[in-house]
Amino acid sequence: MPNHVLLNNVDHKDLRIITTRGARYADNVMLATTFPSEFRDLQAHYPIVFRKTGEGDSFEPVALFGFQDGENLFLDDQRWDASYLPLAIERQPFLIGITNGEPLVHVDFDSPRVSRTEGEAVFLTHGGNTEFLEQRNSILAAIYQGVQSTPAFIEALLEHALLESFVFDIELNDGSQNRLAGLYTINEEKLAALGGDAIGRLHQAGYLQAIYMVLASLSHFRDLIERKNRAVSR
């Protein structure tokens, strides 16, 4: 079972968080969940696509880092090779847990980032929050609000049949063939065919900009391919 514990400054007074990047700290992930208000920052670095949720009856947006499970092409030794770190990655090992109906900060004590001897201190000597924890609290608040807003965005996309599945076939420089499947993107033809009223409603809800951020992000598939080629040639 997940070892998620409600954070407090008594039991966790000497808690520290390792912020170094790398596979040993569970950064070797193919994708991360995101939300529309983060799209503007993400689209400058990563493809934004959609996947079906665990229940299989809805979708969630994700930022893509690789072409297969466990592959993160942005990891470079102990560095994340992009100037913007997705919030779902940066918040670790903190997460929002619901206690008595209230969202509160929890810590995943199974995370390799949790330490008592190295990394950023979470609490001050006399129990107050460090600047590091305050920053993480802000990240968690943004994620919580963003995730709350996502279902309405997805509902709008489905209402206008704007999501379509895609298959991405890749031939690398070494001749190997790779395929990315099971993900979804915006159907540009259906978007272009929408009437003025539908476009107006999407714009008024703030969704139209998010849709165009998704479309703009797809140019980074070329960057992912180049990163994959470099990784294969090492």
pLDDT interval class at 100 (50, 70, 90): confident
pLDDT interval class at 175 (50, 70, 90): confident
Alpha-carbon gap, residue 138 to 87, rounded angstroms:
10
Q: What is the pLDDT of residue 1?
A: 60
**In the chain, domain spans:** 4-227
Q: Evaluate whether 36 touches 156 at the Cβ level (below 8 Å).
A: no
List of residues 6+ apart from 52 with CB closer than 8 A: 58, 59, 182, 184
pLDDT tens digits, one per residue of 4-21: 999 999 999 999 999 999
Q: What is the pLDDT of residue 177?
A: 87
Q: Evaluate whether 162 touches 186 at the Cβ level (below 8 Å).
A: yes
Region 129-156: what's the mean pLDDT? 96
Buried/exposed code over 25-39 (b: 16+ C-beta within 10 A; e: otherwise): bebebbbbbbbbbbb
In the predicted model, is pLDDT for residue 44 greater than 90?
yes
Alpha-carbon gap, residue 128 to 145, rounded angstroms:
25
Region 96-117: what's the mean pLDDT? 92
Q: What is the pLDDT of residue 98?
A: 85
Q: What is the pLDDT of residue 150?
A: 96
Q: Evaluate whether 107 touches 140 at the Cβ level (below 8 Å).
A: no
In the predicted model, is pLDDT for residue 101 greater than 70?
yes
Continuous segment of H or E residues that includes residue 105: strand 102-108
Region 168-186: what's the mean pLDDT? 90
Alpha-carbon gap, residue 207 to 233, rounded angstroms:
40
Q: pTM here?
A: 0.93
